[in-house]
């Protein structure tokens, strides 16, 4: 809505907005008008979510009104809307035909297998040869003898036999193209239920809103319900199977991997059952017997339609609401919500579903000319490339290789030449990968002139480029694109794993026993999927990522360990696919700076003057926060929590004495953030043995963040209940003996992001040191080197192949690399640290009437401002904190300031 002066109006805002909220909404509205990429920064606690909702959805309504007006002026005109189809191989039968017209189906057939088949390295320096490598296997003697052999297979094994495979580009002139039968997976019984839906066109100007966690998405839905858009917009939330599955048998499997596998397995069984039923003649007609296999939550198609209608009729539902509705109606909320995407105005979904191309294809997300809003975008570049990492362990390779050998041994003489060739190639690949991880000279990772034992003592991890890896393993002549297409289309994963499970059952061995010896890595199916993911990674551009080879021996079990992992280093190509399709991409967050790093890593092609950036201050008054950089403790000892000195007993004791003093002056809740779980545990044990913990607990109850995310909610609830129970008690005895609680948390863990520690839950936030990432992290070092464009860092050992970088996993080695980097690499390392700091301390101030003290405990925060360089940590703090920051080297002054601050706030609140 636009006023007479042309400025947008936001009548959907449920209360009188603050000036910074109006500025934010105007900026977002302008960003959507101009399209392209925008970055909007608004501190946590400033009503950012509500501002996003009321601005973006108002823009959609305004634009639709404009388009309707144009259509009224030009009757008969129209445009073909682009629609992303629904119909991945992992969808149930009724959904494959849901709102998919014949034109879309034809397009899908032309692009079939594109998820696996697309090569990202068509221009790589050494292309994979088009001619597929033939690995042994003789020609068939004749079709008749082959059919005779197949017919001789017993009924149990016949279900595991692969259909004869020949892709469109396989074979020579005159070959039969695509001998496999196309599986038509639709139920006639559902046609009348879905006929009305097939006419539904995809909504134009759709908004996709994504965030990192389900809790953040639930908060978004909660805010949306407070606006008029809750009734005007059709909203659907998308989640994972683990969060939405209501089949108790499947949910009981626990892990996401097993739940996904079982769900897809049930869909496969349903499809197979539908194609194998016999036609039963009834009079002059023919009817088909319905398949009885599959998930019982997907058999009632009419109920699925009722579920969709119910979701749109109710107020916007979050993931938990969808799951509850599905249970009540007895139908699958996971597939039910997916089928609603086309009709929705607003789609709320997690990062993975939107940023991963395979997920977008599977969900049928059409970004063309639509709006994409990415919340919590402070670490978007790293989150994006993490999604494209892939990893396979030694035990998974063993599992796949053994199952392939068993399968090939059983069906070798019954398979066509193409199936034989591809299976043998898969065995060649798994053997090559296994040799890489074996701690012997067959690993072929070290030059023959270098003694392997010596090399192992030098380094346990290797990294190399994709092309070097392919050449070294002598697998560069395998056409991975065609192999991946075969894996996708032939159903070999399910055939091989199914046959392996059958053998294990006959031998009375648990199907997953072998895998469970190796840390519960999943079934053969998940191991096969891990192999496919690695193979897909190897089709990327040579410079887009690195291969990590990590060798380790599980001495207690005398089993070989280790893994091969592909780490994606460049996200610009991935992100460009989203930017190119969408009308506008908006990155939103509380701390998005430095924006130049984000621009260079995600959209370097975009000139800085074409990037729309907006930042606003905080809504809280300046006197509601007290940020202090504390250099010394109560006894005068300097706080230095750098890696080399933080484990000093004196340093840990000084920190404990600081807490002993804080509990006497800070009311209600104190949250202390540590750099890592290990360090928090070390500090806690020291305080416990030295008696400091006992002194602290005389005034406040101590809680610790659990490592298991599943336990965080219960700990947080108990912490909150403790604080507010004591706050509501006015007895002098209680005030004197017990005055709140302390929560020991960890930077980068659950409590440091997306958690609300408002009011009494976070009256004081203590940041212990600077939480720099471990410099021994091989993936981090590769990322830093890539950003730094560091090309020639090699171990100075002439006997080691120059194709490899060797890592010792020691911290000092990592520091050597960091010292060797130029400004770009060091800047990235520092930015990672300060983004984590900003996220953690931002948990406390959540609304305009909130107040808190923020203590940055380390001498590195408190250096003289006149001596600060661009790399100084204080320069990377949010403006609303940096402008109020006071540096202090005298704890006595800090204690008095804190006492005055909380005394004044208590008086004002009365």
* Digit-coded pLDDT (tens) for 371-401: 999 999 998 999 999 999 999 999 999 999 9
Tokens of 421: 């060739």
Assess whether pLDDT exceeds 90 at residue 611. Answer: yes
Q: Please tell me whether residues 542 and 606 are part of one structural domain.
A: no
pLDDT for 524 equals 87
Other CB atoms within a 10 A radius of the CB of residue 734 amount to 12
In a domain, 341, yes or no: yes
Q: Of the given ranges (72-76, 143-147, 191-195, 581-585), which has the lowest mean pLDDT?
A: 191-195
Q: What angle do CA 106, 109, 112 make, to 5 degrees?
A: 150
Q: Please tell me whether residues 748 and 889 are part of one structural domain.
A: yes
pLDDT for 316 equals 96
> Which of these, 124, 803, 130, 116, lies nearest to 477 by C-alpha position?
130
Q: Show Cβ contacts of residue 661 under 8 Å, excluding neighbours closer than 6 positions.
A: 634, 891, 895
> Which of these, 346, 328, 370, lies nearest to 581 by C-alpha position?
370
Query: Residues 10, 11, 14, 15: what is their CA dihedral angle, to the nearest 10 degrees?
Result: 80
pLDDT for 121 equals 44
Q: Of the given ranges (316-325, 463-472, 768-777, 812-821), which has the lowest mean pLDDT?
A: 812-821
Q: Please tell me whether residues 632 and 607 are part of one structural domain.
A: no
For the chain, the 3-state helix, strand and coil shares in percent, each to the nearest 5, are 50, 10, 40
Residue with the larger pLDDT of the pair 853 and 147: 853
Q: Please tell me whether residues 750 and 875 are part of one structural domain.
A: yes
Chain centroid, CA 719 distance in Å: 29
Segment 709-761, tens digit of pLDDT: 889 999 999 999 999 887 665 444 444 456 899 999 999 998 988 788 989 99
The torsion region of residue 149 among left (phi > 0), alpha (psi -120 to 50) and beta comes to alpha
Determine the 3-state secondary structure of 619 from DSSP: coil
> Which of these, 55, 220, 41, lies nearest to 598 by C-alpha position?
41
CA–CA distances in Å: residue 681 to residues 675, 741, 767, 802: 11, 18, 16, 41
> Which of these, 846, 355, 891, 824, lies nearest to 578 by C-alpha position?
355
Assess whether pLDDT exceeds 70 at residue 647. Answer: yes
Segment 301-312, tens digit of pLDDT: 899 999 999 999
Residue with the larger pLDDT of the pair 282 and 303: 303
pLDDT for 558 equals 53
Q: Please tell me whether residues 532 and 651 are part of one structural domain.
A: no
User: What is the rounded distance in angstroms from the CA atom of residue 105 to the CA atom of residue 86?
Assistant: 10
User: What is the rounded distance in angstroms from the CA atom of residue 50 to the CA atom of residue 676?
Assistant: 33
Report the DSSP pairing between strands 668-674 and 764-768.
parallel
Other CB atoms within a 10 A radius of the CB of residue 626 amount to 22
What is the domain range of residue 700?
A: 625-727+738-774+829-909
User: What is the rounded distance in angstroms from the CA atom of residue 603 to the CA atom of residue 290?
Assistant: 51
Q: Of the given ranges (173-187, 314-328, 683-697), which has the lowest mean pLDDT?
A: 173-187
Q: Please tell me whether residues 604 and 705 are part of one structural domain.
A: no
In a domain, 102, yes or no: no
152 — pLDDT class (breaks 50, 70, 90): low
pLDDT for 97 equals 52
Assess whether pLDDT exceeds 60 at residue 171. Answer: no
Tokens of 518: 């190796």
633 — pLDDT class (breaks 50, 70, 90): very high
In a domain, 122, yes or no: no
Residue with the larger pLDDT of the pair 155 and 824: 824
> Which of these, 348, 353, 349, lies nearest to 316 by C-alpha position?
348
Question: 834 with 828: CB under 8 angstroms?
Answer: no
> Which of these, 391, 399, 401, 407, lies nearest to 426 by C-alpha position?
401
Q: Show Cβ contacts of residue 191 under 8 Å, excluding neighbours closer than 6 positions.
A: none
In a domain, 430, yes or no: yes
Segment 738-748, tens digit of pLDDT: 689 999 999 99
Question: 423 with 132: CB under 8 angstroms?
Answer: no
The helix (H) or strand (E) run that includes residue 65 is helix 48-73
Q: Of the given ranges (241-255, 473-487, 619-633, 865-879), which has the lowest mean pLDDT?
A: 865-879
Secondary structure in 3-state letters for 457-486: HHCCEEEECHHHHHHHCCCCCCCHHHHHHH
pLDDT average, residue stretch 316-343: 95
Determine the 3-state secondary structure of 790 from DSSP: coil
In a domain, 124, yes or no: no
Segment 235-279, tens digit of pLDDT: 999 999 999 999 999 999 888 888 988 888 888 766 555 444 444
Tokens of 60: 């959609």
Question: 87 with 96: CB under 8 angstroms?
Answer: yes
Q: Residue length, the chain?
A: 910
The helix (H) or strand (E) run that includes residue 743 is strand 740-746
Determine the 3-state secondary structure of 312 from DSSP: helix
Segment 874-904, tens digit of pLDDT: 889 998 899 899 998 789 999 999 999 999 9
Residue at which a domain ends, from 560, 575, 590:
575
pLDDT for 819 equals 85
pLDDT for 522 equals 59
pLDDT average, residue stretch 660-674: 96
Segment 178-217, tens digit of pLDDT: 444 433 333 223 333 333 444 467 888 999 999 988 888 9
pLDDT for 145 equals 54
Tokens of 602: 């995600």
Assess whether pLDDT exceeds 90 at residue 639. Answer: yes
pLDDT for 790 equals 54
What spatial distance separates the first Cα and last Cα of the chain, rounded to whole Å?
Answer: 42
Question: 311 with 234: CB under 8 angstroms?
Answer: no
Determine the 3-state secondary structure of 546 from DSSP: strand
In a domain, 473, yes or no: yes
Q: Please tell me whether residues 595 and 488 are part of one structural domain.
A: no
pLDDT average, residue stretch 363-375: 95
User: What is the rounded distance in angstroms from the CA atom of residue 327 to the CA atom of residue 306?
Assistant: 13
pLDDT for 455 equals 42
Question: 712 with 751: CB under 8 angstroms?
Answer: yes
Secondary structure in 3-state letters for 110-151: HCCCHHHHCCCCCCCCCCCCCCCCCCCCCCCCCHHHHHHHHH
Radius of gyration of the chain (CA): 30
pLDDT for 749 equals 92
Query: Residues 92, 159, 262, 491: what is their CA dihedral angle, to the nearest 10 degrees?
Result: -70
Question: 86 with 95: CB under 8 angstroms?
Answer: yes
Residue 313: asked if its preceding bond is cis (omega within 30°), the reply is: no
User: What is the rounded distance in angstroms from the CA atom of residue 760 to the CA atom of residue 767?
Assistant: 18
User: What is the rounded distance in angstroms from the CA atom of residue 57 to the CA atom of residue 345?
Assistant: 9
In a domain, 881, yes or no: yes
DSSP-derived secondary structure letter, 889: S
In 756-829, where do the E strands start and end? 764-768, 805-807
Q: Please tell me whether residues 645 and 701 are part of one structural domain.
A: yes
User: What is the rounded distance in angstroms from the CA atom of residue 195 to the CA atom of residue 184?
Assistant: 17
Q: Please tell me whether residues 641 and 700 are part of one structural domain.
A: yes
User: What is the rounded distance in angstroms from the CA atom of residue 100 to the CA atom of residue 339?
Assistant: 11
User: What is the rounded distance in angstroms from the CA atom of residue 155 to the CA atom of residue 54?
Assistant: 62
State the helix-helix crossing angle for 778-787 and 823-841, rounded to 10 degrees. 120
> Which of these, 660, 712, 720, lies nearest to 690 by C-alpha position?
660
Bridge partners (DSSP) listed for residue 287: 280
pLDDT average, residue stretch 76-103: 46
Tokens of 396: 């998974």
Average pLDDT taken over every residue of the chain? 80
Report the predicted TM-score, pTM, of the whole model to 2 decimal places: 0.82
The helix (H) or strand (E) run that includes residue 209 is strand 207-211
If one counts the domains in the chain, the total is: 4
User: What is the rounded distance in angstroms from the CA atom of residue 598 to the CA atom of residue 381?
Assistant: 7
User: What is the rounded distance in angstroms from the CA atom of residue 756 to the CA atom of residue 136?
Assistant: 62
User: What is the rounded distance in angstroms from the CA atom of residue 885 to the CA atom of residue 837?
Assistant: 15
Tokens of 216: 């953040």
pLDDT for 737 equals 54
Q: Please tell me whether residues 598 and 635 are part of one structural domain.
A: no
Tokens of 341: 């995407």
Question: 396 with 531: CB under 8 angstroms?
Answer: yes
pLDDT for 95 equals 54
User: What is the rounded distance in angstroms from the CA atom of residue 365 to the CA atom of residue 362?
Assistant: 8
Q: Please tell me whether residues 678 and 556 are part of one structural domain.
A: no
Tokens of 775: 């410099």
In a domain, 642, yes or no: yes
Residue at which a domain ends, from 563, 595, 615:
615
Question: 743 with 669: CB under 8 angstroms?
Answer: yes
Residue with the larger pLDDT of the pair 85 and 270: 270
pLDDT for 792 equals 43
Q: Please tell me whether residues 503 and 633 are part of one structural domain.
A: no
User: What is the rounded distance in angstroms from the CA atom of residue 861 to the CA atom of residue 51?
Assistant: 33
pLDDT for 797 equals 37
pLDDT average, residue stretch 793-797: 39
């Amino acid at each position: 809505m636009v006023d007479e002066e042309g400025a947008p109006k936001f009548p959907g805002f449920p209360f009188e907005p603050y000036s910074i909220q109006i500025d934010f909404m105007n900026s977002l509205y302008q960003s959507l008008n101009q399209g392209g990429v925008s970055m909007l920064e608004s501190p946590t606690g400033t009503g950012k979510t509500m501002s996003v909702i009321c601005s973006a959805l108002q823009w959609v309504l305004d634009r639709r009104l404009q388009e309707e007006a144009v259509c009224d002026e030009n009757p008969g005109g129209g445009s073909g809307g682009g629609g992303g189809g629904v119909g991945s191989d992992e969808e149930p039968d009724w959904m494959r035909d849901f709102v998919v017209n014949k034109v879309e189906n034809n397009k899908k057939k032309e692009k079939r297998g594109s998820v696996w088949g697309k090569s990202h390295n068509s221009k790589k320096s050494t292309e994979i040869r088009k001619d597929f490598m033939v690995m042994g296997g003789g020609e068939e003697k004749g079709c008749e003898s082959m059919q005779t052999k197949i017919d001789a297979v017993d009924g149990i094994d016949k279900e595991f036999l692969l259909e004869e495979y020949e892709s469109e580009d396989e074979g020579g002139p005159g070959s039969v193209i695509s001998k496999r039968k196309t599986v038509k997976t639709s139920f006639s019984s559902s046609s009348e239920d879905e006929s009305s839906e097939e006419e539904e066109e995809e909504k134009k100007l759709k908004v996709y809103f994504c965030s990192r966690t389900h809790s953040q998405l639930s908060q978004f839905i909660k805010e949306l319900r407070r606006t008029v858009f809750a009734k005007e917009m059709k909203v659907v939330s998308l989640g994972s199977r683990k969060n939405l599955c209501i089949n108790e048998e499947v949910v009981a499997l626990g892990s996401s991997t097993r739940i996904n596998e079982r769900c897809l397995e049930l869909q496969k069984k349903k499809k197979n059952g539908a194609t194998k039923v016999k036609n039963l003649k009834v009079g002059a007609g023919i009817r088909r017997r319905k398949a009885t296999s599959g998930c019982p939550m997907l058999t009632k198609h009419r109920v699925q339609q009722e579920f969709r209608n119910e979701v749109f009729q109710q107020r916007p539902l979050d993931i938990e609401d969808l799951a509850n509705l599905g249970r009540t109606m007895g139908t699958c909320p996971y597939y039910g919500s997916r089928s609603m995407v086309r009709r929705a105005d607003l789609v709320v979904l997690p990062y993975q579903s939107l940023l991963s191309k395979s997920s977008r294809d599977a969900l049928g997300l059409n970004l063309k000319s639509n709006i994409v809003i990415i919340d919590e975008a402070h670490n978007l570049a790293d989150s994006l490339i993490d999604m494209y990492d892939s990893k396979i362990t030694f035990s998974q390779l063993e599992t796949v290789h053994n199952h392939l050998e068993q399968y090939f041994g059983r069906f070798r003489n019954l398979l066509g030449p193409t199936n034989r060739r591809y299976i043998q190639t898969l065995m060649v690949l798994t053997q090559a990968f296994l040799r890489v991880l074996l701690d012997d000279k067959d690993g072929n990772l070290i030059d023959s002139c270098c003694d392997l034992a010596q090399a192992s003592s030098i380094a346990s991890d290797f990294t190399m480029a994709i092309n070097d890896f392919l050449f070294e393993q002598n697998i560069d002549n395998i056409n991975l694109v065609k192999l991946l297409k075969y894996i996708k289309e032939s159903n070999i994963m399910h055939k091989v794993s199914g046959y392996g499970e059958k053998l294990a059952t006959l031998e009375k061995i648990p199907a997953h026993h072998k895998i469970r010896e190796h840390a519960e890595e999943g079934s053969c199916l998940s191991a096969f999927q891990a192999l496919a993911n690695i193979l897909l990674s190897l089709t990327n551009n040579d410079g887009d990522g690195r291969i990590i080879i990590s060798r380790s021996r599980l001495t207690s079990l005398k089993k070989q360990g280790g893994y091969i992992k592909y780490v994606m280093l460049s996200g610009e190509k991935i992100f460009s696919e989203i930017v190119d399709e969408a009308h506008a991409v908006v990155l939103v967050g509380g701390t998005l700076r430095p924006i130049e790093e984000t621009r260079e890593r995600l959209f370097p092609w975009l000139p800085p003057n074409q990037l729309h950036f907006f930042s606003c201050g905080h809504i809280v008054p300046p006197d509601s926060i007290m940020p202090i950089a504390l250099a010394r403790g109560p006894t005068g000892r300097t706080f230095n929590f750098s890696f080399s000195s933080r484990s000093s007993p004196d340093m840990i004791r000084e920190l404990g004495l600081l807490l002993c003093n804080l509990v006497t002056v800070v009311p209600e809740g104190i949250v202390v953030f540590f750099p890592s779980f290990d360090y928090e545990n070390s500090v806690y044990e020291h305080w416990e043995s030295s008696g400091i913990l006992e002194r602290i607990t005389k005034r406040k109850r101590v809680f610790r963040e659990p490592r298991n995310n599943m336990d965080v909610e219960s700990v947080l609830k108990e912490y909150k209940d403790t604080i507010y129970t004591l706050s509501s008690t006015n007895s002098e005895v209680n005030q004197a003996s017990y005055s709140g609680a302390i929560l020991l948390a960890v930077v980068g863990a659950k409590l440091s992001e997306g958690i609300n520690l408002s009011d009494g839950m976070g009256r004081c936030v203590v940041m212990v040191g600077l939480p720099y990432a471990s410099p021994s992290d091989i993936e981090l070092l590769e990322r830093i080197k890539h950003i730094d464009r560091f090309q020639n860092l090699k171990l100075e050992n002439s006997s080691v192949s120059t194709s490899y970088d060797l890592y010792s996993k020691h911290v000092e080695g990592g520091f050597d690399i960091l010292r060797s980097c130029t400004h770009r690499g060091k800047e990235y390392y520092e930015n990672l640290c300060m983004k984590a700091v900003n996220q953690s301390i931002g948990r406390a101030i959540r609304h305009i009437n909130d107040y808190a003290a923020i203590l940055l405990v380390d001498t590195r925060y408190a250096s003289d401002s006149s001596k600060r360089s661009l790399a100084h940590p204080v320069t990377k703090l949010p403006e609303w904190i940096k402008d109020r920051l006071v540096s202090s080297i005298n704890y006595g002054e800090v204690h008095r300031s804190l006492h005055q601050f909380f005394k004044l706030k208590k008086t004002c609140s009365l």
